[in-house]
Amino acid sequence: MAFLGGPRLLDWASSPPHLQFNRFVLTGYRPISTGSGCLRSLFYLHNELGNIYTHGIPLLGCLFVLPLTIPWTRLSVSWLGIAHYLACVFPQLGSVLYHLFMNHEGGPAVYHTLLTLDMCGVCMVNTLGALPIIYCTLACTPIPRTAALLAYTGLSSYGIFCAVTASSSVRRLRAFAWQALFRFFFFYLRWVGLGTGHPSSLRSYLIMDGLAFLGGVINISRVPERWKPGRFDYWFNSHQIMHVLVVVSILYLHWGVVADLQWIGNHACPME
């Protein structure tokens, strides 16, 4: 059955083996296509359309609107704003490319390259997204701040390796655990008054990580499609729910970092 002039779609059993990663999504699979055929799939209904647009539309907002909300003129350290911008853009860009071209005629080789790109995008929001948080938390202690930034970057490099070589969604989620624990240490410093930053940012960061974790759990649990296979093939399946939660999580990251960047622009560290 074709939708809105698209090609004949496949069921789960007829789709290529490398696309059979969710056995509870039974229909709506695109056939193997050229690059232009993949692009045309933006304009007809299939089971990846929701995944493309739930990150594609926010990606456009991040590309063009988000830079206008970063307080560039108050930044004495400009790389903080750049790192934050890239952290918000990379995961959504990688996701859109992965879902749009996953049925490319290049087969498993192209698919796994796209999956790696998608995982790198997730790693970038975990890595670059935390650097302004760490910097502002230790704003008045330069040596510990530098050591913490270097340690987190090294830990994140290992996390990227684990994520791109993981053999399952559970292992990919686990690859980010050490980064999350590292971030929570800095959240703890703020909570007990040993770290600096805008008073409202901690709440934003906790909600950010909570939403991201919830999205990851929903994705690997395959809920709700696990309960009624075939009912959520096109809309409201676990991966789409995760996408929405990730977008909201990025918004909370943005609100927290912008508040921190505004704070650091006005804050003067006490003299020794």
Write the CATH number for 142.
1.20.1070
Determine, yes or no, domain membership for 7: no
As a whole number, mean pLDDT of residues 50-76 equals 93
On average, the pLDDT of the chain sits at 92
pLDDT band at 270 (very low <50, low <70, confident <90, very high): confident
Q: Is residue 69 part of a domain?
A: yes
Q: Is residue 167 part of a domain?
A: yes
pLDDT value for 131:
97
The whole-number pLDDT of residue 1 equals 41
Q: How many domains does the chain have?
A: 1
Residue 168, in any domain of the structure = yes
Confidence label for 2 from pLDDT (cuts 50, 70 and 90): very low
Residue type for 104, please?
Answer: H
- Kindly state whether residue 161 falls inside one of the protein's structural domains: yes
pLDDT for 157 equals 85
Q: What is the pLDDT of residue 4?
A: 53
Kindly state the average pLDDT of the residues 99-111. Answer: 97
Lowest mean pLDDT among 21-25, 27-31, 120-124, 205-209: 120-124
Range of the domain at 76: 45-266
Residue 26 lies in a domain: no
Domain assignment present for residue 224? The answer is yes
Please say if the pLDDT value at position 80 is more than 50. Answer: yes
51 found inside a domain: yes
What pLDDT is recorded for position 86?
Answer: 97
243 marked as binding residue: yes
